[in-house]
């Protein structure tokens, strides 16, 4: 019994990721801006400093790759 079919399906899913996640650019940019601002200067980045932006990005990713996507 070969696992070849499993690897083919996995590779096919991974190839779709860039296209699926491309719609999350706005959320990714907002999260990046928040992290850059929170860690700017001599300030230390604190846990949950950008929690709202992170959750928006995570939710976008989940919608993009969730059931029925792609």
Report d(CA 4, CA 31) in Å as an integer: 38
Structural contact between residues 27 and 56, judged by C-beta atoms closer than 8 angstroms = yes
Q: Of 20-24, 35-39, 54-58, 60-64, where does mean pLDDT reach its minimum?
A: 20-24
The domain limits of the chain are 3-65
Q: How many CB atoms lie within 10 A of CB 23?
A: 12
Percent of residues, the chain, with pLDDT higher than 90: 44
Structural contact between residues 63 and 15, judged by C-beta atoms closer than 8 angstroms = no
Report field, pTM of the whole predicted structure over 0.85: no
Please tell me the predicted confidence (pLDDT) of residue 1. Answer: 46
Please tell me the predicted confidence (pLDDT) of residue 13. Answer: 80
Structural contact between residues 36 and 44, judged by C-beta atoms closer than 8 angstroms = no
């Amino acid at each position: 019994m070969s696992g070849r079919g499993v690897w083919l399906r996995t590779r096919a899913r991974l190839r779709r990721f860039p296209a699926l996640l491309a719609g999350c650019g706005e959320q990714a940019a907002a999260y990046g801006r928040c992290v850059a601002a929170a860690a700017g200067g001599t300030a230390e980045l604190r846990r949950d400093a950008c929690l709202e932006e992170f959750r928006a990005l995570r939710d976008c990713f989940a919608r993009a790759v969730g059931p029925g996507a792609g």
